[in-house]
Amino acid sequence: MSLRTSALMGACAVMALATAASAETTITVATVNNGDMIRMQGLTSDFEAKHPDIKVEWVTLEENVLRQRVTTDVATKGGQYDVMTIGTYEVPIWGKQGWLVGLNDLPESYDVDDLLPAIRGGLTVDGTLYAAPFYGESSMVMYRKDLVEAAGLEMPEAPTWDQVREIAAATTDKANEVYGICLRGKAGWGENMAFLTAMSNSFGAKWFDMEWTPQFDSPEWKRTLTFYLDLMENYGPPGASSNGFNENLALFQTGKCAMWIDATVAASFVTNPDESEVADQVGFALAPDNGLGKRGNWLWAWNLGIPAGTEKEEAAKAFVEWATSKEYTELVAEKEGWANVPPGTRTSLYENPAYLEAAPFAQMTLESIEAADPQNPTVDEVPYVGVQFVAIPEFQGLGTAVGQQFSAALAGQVTAEQALANAQTLTEREMKRAGY
């Protein structure tokens, strides 16, 4: 670079900073079309009132499209977004690559120590916080008290998989379109594989051993998959292989599922009488286990991160701070009620009596989140971090490809054995290609 161009660029940078400081800044926020984010979008005016020099533009996309768009953009330094909504999976990988702006300089009033340790730990790389959690979740059992009672059974607070199967069998009434259990079946590393990987932990299975050898040929995985397929074939809804979180939510809200094991954030939707026909009949329990010391629950958070290299870092930080602050929680509580605040990120929320009263699922959510341990997710020791994912860049592709196999098994196109054998082959192939 010649002296003149660098001088020119320096001047431009100074000018850019100067304009950023004086004139109105427009930041582009990319987010996923989940209920809590759409609520945040609706509250933008509060942020703009507090920061009259910043204007917010939204790009709201479906999860898979969003992930593809923001990853392409951050990896090619396209610079189209100033704030990105990203998951717990991306943050450590991107942080390590230097793609995100560190957030260690958030002001005192933000009270970073209030963040739940399990969630915060997943967003920190070498002591630097790379994204702020917007909401956090684990997974748990949501069930219909009326149906379980009518079947003469009782849901324990911490059920085992065998108890879950027993209840599913007793509550299934296909003639009346009530299915004993609804689980994810749609292929995708964040869809069926999130559930199945977390479930496999409680069966003692794992993705890789300490030498990074894939483990789909293990008896533990076989037990996991056959148990899942057996549950779904006998007691699950039709079309399960294309059901993800949203599809199952719709089924549960319309009273078609007796049990649903999924994200804890769903609790506020299924207990909301405006949206759910079964709002007053929902009970909660911890995700099932097999007595091996690990439960089948995951840990996830949607977070706001700032791509390195954005020219609007200050404005973007102001936004991230606003959206993940205690004040934002109070704002939502004031406008929409305490049950609708974004859960799972701050200790103080779970000490707030108003919230605990409004949200019958609060205690179970907190317990589920605390029961997940991303550093030691499995029964045996493993070389990776992540409960329902493996925090390596290859996992997105791998998880989705394996998810396709398991989804095909659920659709009855291949047997469990074939699906596992295919998963093993393709994982070995990809790992070899990646040089592990």
Partner 1 sequence: MARAVTTNRKVVSTVFGWAIAILIFFPILWTILTSFKTEAEAIASPPSFLVFDWTLENYSTVQERSDYFLHFMNSVILSLGSTVLGLLIAIPAAWSMAFVPAKRTKDVLMWMLSTKMLPPVGVLVPIYLIFRDIGLLDTRLGLVIVLTLINLPIIIWMLFTYFREIPGDILEAARMDGASLRDEIIHVLTPMAVPGIASTLLLNVILAWNEAFWTLNLTAANAAPLTAFIASYSSPEGLFYAKLSAASTMAIAPILILGWFSQKQLVRGLTFGAVK
Partner 2 sequence: MATQHSRAAARTMISPAVILLLGWMLIPLGLTIYFSFLRYNLLMPGANPFVGFENYAYFFTDPAFWPAVINTLLLVGGVLLITIVGGVLLALLLDQPIWGRGIVRILVIAPFFVMPTVSALVWKNMFFHPVNGLFGQLAKGLGFEPFDFLAQAPLASIILIVSWQWLPFATLILLTALQSLDSEQLEAAEMDGAGALSRFRHIALPHLARAITVVILIQTIFLLSVFAEILVTTNGGPGNASTNLTYLIYAQSLLQFDVGLGSAGGVFAILLANIVAFFLMRMIGKNLDL
Query: CA angle, corner 32, sides to 272 and 284, nearest 5?
Result: 35
395 touches partner 1 by CB under 8 A: no
Helices (H), 76-151: 90-97, 117-122, 145-150
Quote the tokens at residue 347: 């200790």
- Short-list 300, 348, 120, 84, CA closest to 197: 300
394 binds, among partner 1, partner 2, none (CB under 5 to 8 A by kind): partner 2
The residue (of 80 and 163) whose beta carbon lies closer to partner 1 is 80
* Residue of 68, 128, 375, 376 interacting with partner 2 (CB under 8 A): 68
The per-residue b/e assignment along 218-240, b for 16 or more CB within 10 angstroms, e otherwise, is bebbbbbbebbbebbeebbbeeb
219 binds, among partner 1, partner 2, none (CB under 5 to 8 A by kind): none
* Residue of 42, 98, 117, 239 interacting with partner 1 (CB under 8 A): 42
226 touches partner 1 by CB under 8 A: no
239 touches partner 2 by CB under 8 A: yes
Q: 133 and 345 in contact (C-beta within 8 Å)?
A: yes
Place of tokens 């009620």: 337
Whole-angstrom distance, CA of residue 80 vs CA of residue 72: 10
Query: DSSP label at 218?
Result: S
80 binds, among partner 2, partner 1, none (CB under 5 to 8 A by kind): partner 1
- Binding residues for partner 1, rule CB under 8 A, total 36
411 touches partner 2 by CB under 8 A: yes
What are the residues facing 57 on neighbouring strands? Answer: 28
Nearest approach in angstroms of CB 167 to partner 1 is 24
How far, rounded to the nearest angstrom, does the alpha carbon of residue 63 sit from its chain's CA centroid?
A: 10
- Short-list 138, 122, 156, 129, CA closest to 374: 122
Quote the tokens at residue 381: 């020791």
275 touches partner 1 by CB under 8 A: yes
Neighbours of 6 (CB within 10 A): 10
* Residue of 20, 44, 58, 212 interacting with partner 1 (CB under 8 A): 58
277 touches partner 2 by CB under 8 A: no
61 touches partner 1 by CB under 8 A: yes
- Short-list 184, 180, 187, 227, CA closest to 203: 227
Nearest approach in angstroms of CB 398 to partner 2 is 8
Nearest approach in angstroms of CB 360 to partner 2 is 27
Sign of CA dihedral 241, 246, 252, 254: negative
* Residue of 143, 312, 426, 427 interacting with partner 2 (CB under 8 A): 426
408 touches partner 2 by CB under 8 A: yes
Whole-angstrom distance, CA of residue 282 vs CA of residue 197: 26
The residue (of 309 and 412) whose beta carbon lies closer to partner 2 is 412
Place of tokens 């009530």: 178
Binding window for partner 1 (CB under 8 A); candidates: 197-205, 275-283, 307-315, 325-333: 275-283
41 touches partner 1 by CB under 8 A: yes
- Short-list 39, 18, 107, 32, CA closest to 340: 39
188 touches partner 2 by CB under 8 A: yes
What are the residues facing 100 on neighbouring strands? Answer: 307
78 binds, among partner 1, partner 2, none (CB under 5 to 8 A by kind): partner 1
* Residue of 59, 112, 153, 414 interacting with partner 1 (CB under 8 A): 59
Binding window for partner 1 (CB under 8 A); candidates: 114-122, 203-211, 249-257, 410-418: 249-257
Sign of CA dihedral 330, 334, 338, 341: negative
Distances (CA, A) of 344 to 23, 115, 118, 136, 144: 36, 9, 10, 4, 23
396 touches partner 2 by CB under 8 A: yes
Site for partner 2 in 27-66 (CB under 8 A): 64
325 binds, among partner 2, partner 1, none (CB under 5 to 8 A by kind): none
What are the residues facing 37 on neighbouring strands? Answer: none
* Residue of 62, 327, 380, 417 interacting with partner 1 (CB under 8 A): 62
244 touches partner 1 by CB under 8 A: yes
269 touches partner 1 by CB under 8 A: yes
Kindly report the three-state secondary structure assignment for every residue of 196-264: HHHHHHHCCCCCECCCCCECCCCHHHHHHHHHHHHHHHHHCCCCHHHCCHHHHHHHHHCCCECEEEEEC
Letter for the amino acid at 106? L
Residues that bind partner 2 (CB under 8 A): 64, 68, 71-72, 75-76, 93, 97, 177, 186-188, 237-242, 250-251, 254, 256, 393-394, 396-397, 400-401, 404-405, 407-408, 410-414, 422, 425-426, 429, 433
* Binding stretches for partner 1 (CB under 8 A): 28, 30, 33-35, 38, 41-42, 57-63, 65, 69, 72-73, 76-81, 244, 246-247, 249-250, 253-254, 269, 275-277
